[in-house]
Each structure stands twice: as C-alpha cells, then as structure tokens.
Amino acid sequence: MATIREIAKIAQVSVATVSRVLNDHPYVSKEKKRAVHQAIKELNYSRNLKAIQLANKHSNLVGVVLPKIDLPYFSEIVEGLAEEARKLHLQLVLIQSNYETEKEREALELLRGHLMDGIIFCSRAISLTEVRTYQEYGPIILLEDTDQDDFYSISIPHDQAFSYGLEYLHSKGHKKMAIALNRTDGINSQKRIHSYKKMMEQIKEPIRKNWIFDHCLSMEDGVSIVQKYLLLKEKPTAILTTNDQLAAGVILEAAKHQINIPQDLAVLSFDNQDISKVMDISTIGIPIKEMGSEALKALYKIREGLQPVKKKRELPFKLIERLTV
C-alpha cells in the first residue's frame, strides 16, 4: 500500500502538505492540492479509517436514526443535516429503523463502539431509559419535545402548536373536531392527544375515540381516514392532521365521495411541505430543515467542547391560511 511519503515525493511537496490536504485543512494552494490528488490517484492510495480515528479520537461519522427515509418530513430533516455536515466536514450514516427497537439499539451500539461520534434520533421507538445508558459514549440529540432534562432536544413545542391549531379551527366555528396522528405511544403524539382532550373539555364536547385516527403517516393513510369517516354515524366537521401528506390524502379521497372541502369537512395540517402549497392546504409551518441543521450544530459543539449548548431548544411554528379551512 502506498504511503504518505510516496505521495509527497511524486507530488513534490512536503509530508506535512500531504497531511493537510488529506485532512481538508485550509491554507494549501490549489496547485499543491491538485498535485497531491493526482499522486493519490496514480498510487491508488486509500486511507486507513481506523488509524485516522485512533489518531484524531473522532470518526467524523454521525448516525441519523429515522423510521422511514421516503417520507418528506424526514427527507427535509436529512437535507438540513446534509448541508450542515458539508460545512463541518462530517459524514452522515442513515439508519432506517421502521420503529424497530432492535435496529435503534444497533445504532446505539455503534456509538458505544466509538464507530460514530454521536447519534441524532429523528423519531424513535426505544425507551429513553435505555437511550440514557448510552449517553456516556457520545452526544445524543432527540428531535422531539421531551420533558427529560438530561437529554439534548430540538423541536417545536408540539402541545402548544396542536392547541393553536385546534383553537384556530374552533375560531372558524368548529366544535366537532377530529385528529389524525401517528403512534399514540410516542411523546409528541401523547402531547397532541393531551391538547386535544383539554380542548374538547373546554368547549364541552365529548371525546369520541373513533374521531382520533392513529397510525397515520402517508397519503394512503389519509385515504383510509375518509373511508372510516364515511362509516361514522356522527361526523366531525373538521380534522387536524399531523402532516401535509395525510391532509392531501384526505382531500383527494373526499373529492371522490362528494365531500366538499372545507364546507363539509375543514382540513388543517402541519409542516408546510410543497404539496400543501400546490393543493392550497391550510397548514402550520414548521422549520423542518432548520431542525436538522441545528441538531448537527449542537452535536458538533458538544463533541468539540465548545460553548455551552442549551439542553432543550424549541423552534417557532407559524399558521399559514389557505383554502381548506
């Protein structure tokens, strides 16, 4: 295998210059960089990652655990992470868990083995009690609205945002409101359900379990919501969904059954994804991309021991009124 000395000899530069180029350090001229890269190509040189990790005490790899990569919400988080990773010279390792605790545990074991510098959980099924046992091995950032003071978290205040959405629907004359969310056992979902029950009590409306649609994530799930809605004896006049994909599915399926939006059923969603703009869906905008970039910034600062990082960071949300309410 070629050595750094051989690269330096062919490129006609010092060993120190080769090292700076390999580690992407500044203050190396374009000509010298070009010469070093040409020598690397000629010698078919590959770096020993394990040796680099031992020398630098960092792998520069960050694990990103997410349930599904193909959902726009998580894709936008990854986009924010990727942009920040380029600036910080970090590499992302995407781990699709499908909410399987064993896969999430495997990611944490990589952190324990020092194969990654930290982990960002975009969403999770594994308990915080178990996650807590891995905190000593590196920074762990949660993209959820947790009440646990010993975790670093970045999110919007889900209870406030959900209450705001329900209050907006109520201000438009709706009392019979349904909600659609993902896992009822998730922290964010629990906060949303609490906000919903509190609102129903305030306006003296009974809490109807069949108006709480769960395990809903995709457009297909939105279609299923309408099919269940059609079977209801007493129907809600409005629905608050936790993402724009769901809302789009509801609206498209409603049209097939002559359910007028918003006259028969008002629809308010979350995220402000492109589909909500195209379909004029009223939504509560969330800075999803910023959530990703801020999570990686925080992880990097913790790793480097830089300025104190705030444990709990809440980002703002914004109501965007369109045509579905």
- What is the residue type of 325? V
CB 143 within 8 A of CB 123: yes
CA dihedral 159, 162, 167, 169 (to 10 degrees): -170
Helices 72-88 and 288-304: angle between axes, nearest 10 degrees = 40
Q: What is the pLDDT of residues 147-174, one digit of tens each?
A: 888 999 999 999 999 999 999 999 999 9
Residue 319: the pLDDT is 98
The residue that leads in pLDDT, 7 or 127, is 127
The residue that leads in pLDDT, 53 or 72, is 72
pLDDT at 14 over 80: yes
Nearest-Å Rg of the Cα atoms of the chain is 24
- Read off the tokens for 91: 């590499």
Q: What is the mean pLDDT of residues 75-94?
A: 96
pLDDT at 53 over 80: no
Domains of the chain: 4-55 (1.10.260.40), 61-156+288-317 (3.40.50.2300), 158-285 (3.40.50.2300)
pLDDT at 40 over 90: no
pLDDT interval class at 283 (50, 70, 90): very high
Instruction: Report the range of poorest mean pLDDT among 44-53, 98-107, 111-120, 156-165.
Output: 44-53
Distances (CA, A) of 289 to 132, 266, 286: 26, 28, 9
Q: What is the pLDDT of residues 228-243, one digit of tens each?
A: 999 999 999 999 999 9
Q: What is the mean pLDDT of residues 66-85?
A: 95
pLDDT at 59 over 60: yes
Which three-class secondary structure state does DSSP give residue 94?
strand
- Cis check for the bond before 262: say yes or no (omega within 30 of 0): yes
CB atoms within 10 A of CB 108: 23
- Residues in Cβ contact with 167 at an 8 Å cutoff, skipping those fewer than 6 apart: 199
Handedness of CA 121, 67, 99, 156 (dihedral sign): positive
- Read off the tokens for 302: 């913790």
pTM for the structure as a whole? 0.81
Q: Where are the strands (E) in 31-73, listed by range? A: 61-66
CB 182 within 8 A of CB 189: yes
